[in-house]
Amino acid sequence: MENVRKKIMMVDDDPLILKIGRFFLSGSYEVYPLPSAAKLFELLEKITPDLIMLDVVMPEITGIDAIKRLKADERYASIPVIFVSSITDSESSFDYLNIGAYSNLSKPFTSEELHSLIESCLRE
């Protein structure tokens, strides 16, 4: 039987973060780097991911607005979301959890941090 790789959509307006994330993850997962939340919602019409990694601060649609939209739509509400952010204070992290995020990963991140958090999230 073929081993089906989990799909991860990584949304960030910083091309370097997308490049690093794809580099770290492409050996283990099917990675979809997306430069905006608008592109995320376009791709969601075609592909259902196992996990969404979402930058908090982005132009047009912020990560906060995107997760609210995701959680309000029954088609996407059960997809886990991990915020990736340079905003690392505990109050913000608590707020992220309250609006439906699985966790928050601080930028910059290591390959080990990224893999560990994703594996933990996908096991649940």
In a domain, 92, yes or no: yes
Residue 113 domain-assigned?
yes
**28 is in which domain, residue-wise?**
7-123
Give the CA count within 13 Å in the CB-facing half-sphere of 27.
5
Percent of the chain exceeding pLDDT 90 equals: 72
DSSP 1: -
Question: CATH code at 76?
Answer: 3.40.50.2300
Number of domains the chain contains: 1
Per-residue pLDDT of 13-72, as tens digits, reads: 999 999 999 999 999 999 999 999 999 999 999 999 999 999 988 989 999 999 999 999
Residue 2: inside a domain, yes or no? no
- Predicted confidence (pLDDT) at residue 117 exceeds the cutoff of 70: yes
